[in-house]
């Protein structure tokens, strides 16, 4: 007799995707079990020690706005924080923090342990059970079955993983953890093919062996901005830990070039495809042959350890080459390696198998998130985990799914890219992937997404009311500033001169004055005696919206165009065989993907604008036909 336990949701894997998925489901009232190969590896950071950074910082803010955990957890455990790109426009400002890895993991484990409806189970899941195309449960290595209606696969880089250091290959998951092997056959059995990706990580060193006097110190910001909208800014003004910058040199590159044949990638041992955007030092030396040096950041792994992370020098060279190449870098001459750099290969899926809800198209109730979907990065994983968790819950609760548009969130861009585009390497979020980034700023994630978090039930009434009130204050203040006229009176001109600004030729509004580069909300305060004190989060939005009004308006118009195509829904029952003139490749793609909108269809690789035109013409005819048929019926009824 089979031993079984009843639950509602099973989350397979407790990395950054898994924890967000499990927390979302349990917080929405569903009985949830989260499986991990080892409870000590919950929310582990097996690669770099940072959270956030260019475009990834946006993801963390969005996760937080929707009611996810990552932002709160890093606010509790960061050891350095910096707003990047402040010299550029607000669209590319991005928050980046150094995490205390052990603390981050420990803190998240506690959040999970305290969470109602959530059970943590250390076990390897070896089988997904289905009946008639629906998930019914999962089986663990002991044979025990957990019955559920939704399973969320978040296996990260653990599935059939192997780690490579030169000629040495070990069959382990990241950071020496036990890998998972059982699931592959089960997944293939239910029609889910796997593919192989690879990624890599640099060495960890004993910090005491480094000479920091030869490097440039990199400090955090004096005033730290928290990631989470729920964190009190006063709580994050802590003593920070510095990072250090140094560089590779020609000697480093020579050693790499001389030994390139011993790199498993160049020797052809590695089967998986690696990320172009996170290249190993070998790749950088080969690809940017003309560059005489590359940046290397030395980053602490935590307060409670001497270990440091050598950012910028991931590698899969043999031990001896690693040792020699690292030692050519100024400050690393006597470095002592604690953990080797290594490349890791793992099984993952092509996310084209998924719907925009992250549910597989063919197996009902089976959701996938994180690196298993072919992405890379903690933040990308967490974002997908949260969305998969929300959508699994919406499905069980019989509510409308949550799909964010590309024009609404980086998360929307991330998932649409993964599900719709042809990705042949681990997918990393980048600002350039977001077409409407001036609207998708890290500073307005709450204004964009709180409403969705509230709708699904992860954001409280109080939190929602707060953001609504904030929005109103922003709009009122903008309107007020536009209505106040400043005349060319002498005292005004003197005030402007005192602020290094040119005289007024004619009267203008305060809002117009604020558009001058040298002026801003604070600088015009003296011309605005009726101003009432407003929270900084409000004045910051007022300032951005006024200063960049023209650009924002133009981007909004682009979004309108975009939305027109997104809103042209393709009938679910469309028969692509019936659409004449479609090219064969396009027909196959459309049949396979079944895109929900013309917009999504237009982003499928292999579908050309001409195919879209064909499809639109067909849909138009279809609509007319249906109308005529309807009209015919109406007449019959008369």
**Interface residues with another protein (CB under 8 A)?**
54-55, 85, 87-89, 91-92, 277, 288, 291, 294-295, 430-432, 435, 437-438, 517, 548, 551, 554-555, 558, 561, 564-565, 568, 581, 583, 602, 608-614, 616-617, 620
Shortest Å, Cβ 432 to another protein: 4
The nearer residue to another protein, 86 or 397, going by C-beta atoms, is: 86
Cβ-proximal residues to 450 (8 Å cutoff; 6+ apart), any chain = 65, 66, 229, 459, 463, 464, 467
Start-to-end CA distance of the chain, whole Å, equals 63
**Short-list 102, 399, 57, 414, CA closest to 221:** 57
Tally the C-alpha atoms within 13 A of residue 269's C-alpha that lie toward its C-beta.
Answer: 21
The SS3 assignment for 289 reads coil
Residue closer to another protein, measured from CB, 87 or 637: 87
Nearer to another protein, 507 or 617 (CB): 617
- Which of 59/349 has CB closer to another protein? 59
Nearer to another protein, 250 or 560 (CB): 560
Tell me whether residue 15 or residue 426 sits nearer to another protein (CB atom): 426
Question: CB of 209: closest distance to another protein in angstroms?
Answer: 26
**Contacts of 128 by beta carbon, 8 Å cutoff, 6+ apart:** 135, 138, 151, 153, 183, 186, 187, 190, 363, 366
For tokens 């001036």, what's the residue?
Answer: 438
CB of 337 to another protein, least distance (A): 24
| Helices and strands: H and E segment counts in the chain | 19, 24
Min separation Cβ 425 and another protein, Å = 15
When the beta carbons of 87 and 573 are compared against another protein, the nearer one is 87
Dump the DSSP string for 450-497: HHHHHHHTSS-HHHHHHHHHHHHHHHHHHHHHHH-EE---HHHHHHHH
CB 305 within 8 A of CB 280: no
Return all residues near 537 (Cβ < 8 A) that are at least 6 apart: 470
Q: Give the three-state DSSP class for 266.
A: coil
Rounded least distance, CB 249 to another protein, Å: 15
With respect to another protein, which residue has the nearer C-beta, 398 or 550? 550
Task: State the nearest-atom distance from the C-beta of 291 to another protein, in Å.
Answer: 7
Cβ at position 547, least distance to another protein in Å = 10
Q: How far is the CB of 404 from another protein (least distance, A)?
A: 21
Q: Which is nearest to 56 in space by CA: 71, 66, 38?
A: 71
- Treating both helix axes as pointing N-terminal to C-terminal, what angle do 584-593 and 609-637 enclose, rounded to 10 degrees? 60
């Amino acid at each position: 007799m089979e031993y079984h336990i009843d639950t509602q949701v099973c989350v397979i894997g407790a990395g950054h995707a898994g924890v967000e998925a499990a927390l979302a489901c349990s917080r929405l009232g569903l009985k949830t079990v989260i499986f991990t190969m080892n409870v000590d590896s919950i929310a582990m950071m097996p690669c770099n020690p940072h959270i956030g950074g260019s475009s990834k910082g946006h993801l963390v803010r969005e996760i937080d706005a929707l009611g996810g955990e990552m932002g709160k957890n890093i606010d509790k455990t960061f050891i350095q924080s910096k707003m990047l790109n402040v010299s550029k426009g607000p669209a590319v400002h991005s928050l980046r923090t150094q995490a205390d890895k052990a603390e981050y993991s420990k803190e998240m484990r506690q959040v999970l342990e305290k969470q109602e409806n959530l059970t943590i189970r250390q076990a390897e899941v070896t089988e997904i059970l289905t009946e008639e195309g629906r998930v019914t449960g999962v089986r663990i290595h002991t044979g025990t079955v957990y019955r559920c209606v939704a399973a969320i696969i978040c296996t990260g880089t653990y599935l059939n993983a192997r780690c490579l250091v030169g000629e040495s290959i070990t069959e382990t998951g990241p950071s020496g953890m036990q890998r998972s092997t059982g699931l592959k056959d089960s997944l293939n059995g239910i029609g889910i093919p796997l593919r192989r990706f690879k990624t890599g990580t640099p060495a960890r060193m004993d910090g005491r062996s480094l000479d920091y006097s030869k490097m440039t110190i990199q400090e955090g910001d004096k005033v730290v901005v928290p990631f989470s909208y729920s964190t009190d800014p006063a709580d994050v003004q802590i003593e920070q830990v510095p990072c250090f910058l140094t560089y590779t040199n020609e000697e480093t590159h020579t050693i790499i070039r001389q030994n390139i044949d011993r790199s498993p990638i160049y020797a052809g041992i590695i089967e998986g495809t690696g990320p172009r955007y996170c290249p190993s030092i070998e790749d950088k030396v080969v690809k940017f042959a003309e560059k005489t040096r590359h940046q290397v950041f030395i980053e602490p792994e935590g307060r409670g350890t001497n270990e440091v992370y050598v950012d910028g020098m991931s590698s899969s060279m043999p031990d001896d080459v690693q040792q020699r190449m690292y030692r050519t870098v100024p400050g690393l001459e006597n470095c002592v390696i604690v953990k080797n750099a290594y490349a890791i290969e793992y099984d993952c899926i092509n996310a084209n198998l998924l719907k925009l809800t992250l549910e597989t198209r063919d197996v009902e109730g089976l959701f996938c998130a994180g690196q298993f979907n072919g992405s890379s990065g903690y933040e990308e994983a967490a974002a997908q985990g949260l969305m998969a968790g929300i959508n699994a819950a919406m499905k069980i609760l019989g509510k409308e799914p949550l799909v964010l548009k590309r024009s609404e969130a980086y998360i929307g861009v991330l998932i649409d890219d993964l599900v719709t585009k042809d990705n042949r390497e681990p997918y990393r979020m980048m600002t350039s992937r977001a077409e409407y980034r001036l609207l998708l700023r890290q500073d307005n994630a709450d204004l964009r997404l709180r409403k969705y978090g509230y709708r699904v039930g992860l954001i409280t009434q109080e939190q929602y009311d707060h953001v609504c009130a904030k929005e109103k204050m922003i709009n009122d203040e903008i309107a007020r500033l536009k209505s106040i006229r400043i005349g060319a009176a002498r005292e005004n001109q003197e005030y402007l001169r005192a602020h290094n600004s040119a005289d007024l030729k004619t009267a203008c509004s305060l809002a117009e004055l604020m558009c001058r580069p040298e002026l801003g909300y604070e600088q015009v305060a003296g011309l605005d005696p009726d101003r009432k004190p407003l929270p900084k989060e409000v004045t910051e939005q007022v300032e951005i919206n006024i200063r960049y009004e023209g650009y924002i308006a133009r981007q909004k118009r682009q979004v309108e165009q975009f939305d027109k195509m997104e809103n042209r829904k393709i009938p679910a029952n469309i028969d692509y065989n019936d659409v004449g003139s479609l090219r064969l490749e396009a027909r196959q793609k459309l049949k396979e993907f079944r895109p929900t909108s013309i917009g999504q269809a237009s982003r499928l690789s292999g579908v050309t604008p001409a195919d879209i035109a064909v499809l639109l013409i067909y849909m138009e005819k279809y609509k007319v036909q249906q109308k005529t048929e309807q009209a015919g019926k109406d007449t019959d009824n008369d």
